[in-house]
Amino acid sequence: MTHPAIRVSEIFGPTIQGEGVLIGLPTVFVRTGGCDYRCSWCDSLHAVDNQYRHEWEMMSIDAVWQSVVGLSGGRPVMVSLSGGNPAIQPLGALIERGHREGYRFALETQGSVVRDWFAELDVLVLSPKPPSSEMTTDWAAFEACVQAANEKPQVVLKLVVFDESDYAYAKDAAARFPRLPIYLQPGNHTPPRPGNGDSAVDLDGITKRMEWLVESVTRDRWFEARVLPQLHVMLWGNKRGV
């Protein structure tokens, strides 16, 4: 059976997952190309902006899988499907293929596009975008993503927070989905410029935002929230492919 090709921006690893529920876990990343959003502070524009389309490649399931297996040395590892918005791509057959060989799959999406194969994932990270992104959340589509998972994978919320209005949005998201664990992370206000992956990152500014976030959740007795930094940004700044 032939499966539709996947539009890939980059495949890299193994490295560690830098954020959220799987932070620190060795991971191979499959970053797909294309996104239905255009967040003001997107840190993956090279996988979003059509200007970089020439860097993307239509790859067969076999080609993607060979790349993942090669990077992992054939040892099952967590595979993170990211983007862009990976939900746009036909990833169900890839997940099925990897599962047969003992690999696990996490996918991170903003929750704007629902897929029935979400139920086949091991971890679904839903990351609704707060007001500072200048995007508008379709909560009905988001709810449909949670439903599609059908309580099979671990489903978590991950929120990037830049300011008070983002924080209020995060609280609202948590109230809408009280059964889902929630991870907060301070936003990177100096995201990489595509083509200049080593651009400087303001770690002091991010650390101050992290401190403010910790103070906010403790002040509000919001004891269900977990506050985490982006570990890869702390270690490697805006460098790509790590």
Q: Which residues are annotated as a binding site for [4Fe-4S] cluster?
A: 35, 39, 42
Q: Is 145 in the site for ligand SF4 (CB under 6 A)?
A: no
Binding window for ligand SF4 (CB under 6 A); candidates: 6-14, 79-87, 96-104, 222-230 = 79-87
Residue 127: how many CA atoms within 13 Å on its side-chain side? 27
- Binds ligand SF4 by CB under 6 A, chosen from 21, 48, 174, 184: 48
Which residue ranges make up the annotated binding site for substrate? 16-18, 31, 82
The CB density around residue 37, as the number of other CB atoms within 10 Å, is 17
84 binds ligand SF4 (CB under 6 A): yes
Token digits of residue 39: 């967040």
Residue 85 in the binding site for ligand SF4 (CB under 6 A): yes
Length of the chain: 242
Q: Does 126 bind ligand SF4 (CB under 6 A)?
A: no
H or E stretch including 26? strand 26-32
Strands lying side by side in the sheet with 57-59: 57-59, 6-16, 26-32, 78-82, 104-109, 123-126, 154-161, 182-186, 225-227
Stretch that binds ligand SF4, among 14-22, 70-78, 81-89, 136-144 (CB under 6 A): 81-89
Q: How far apart are CA 170 and CA 134, in angstroms?
A: 15
The verdict on 185 binding ligand SF4 (CB under 6 A) reads no
**Is residue 42 part of the contact set for ligand SF4 (CB under 6 A)?**
yes
Which residues in this chain contact ligand SF4 in the complex, by CB under 6 A? 35, 37-39, 42, 44, 48, 83-85, 110, 129
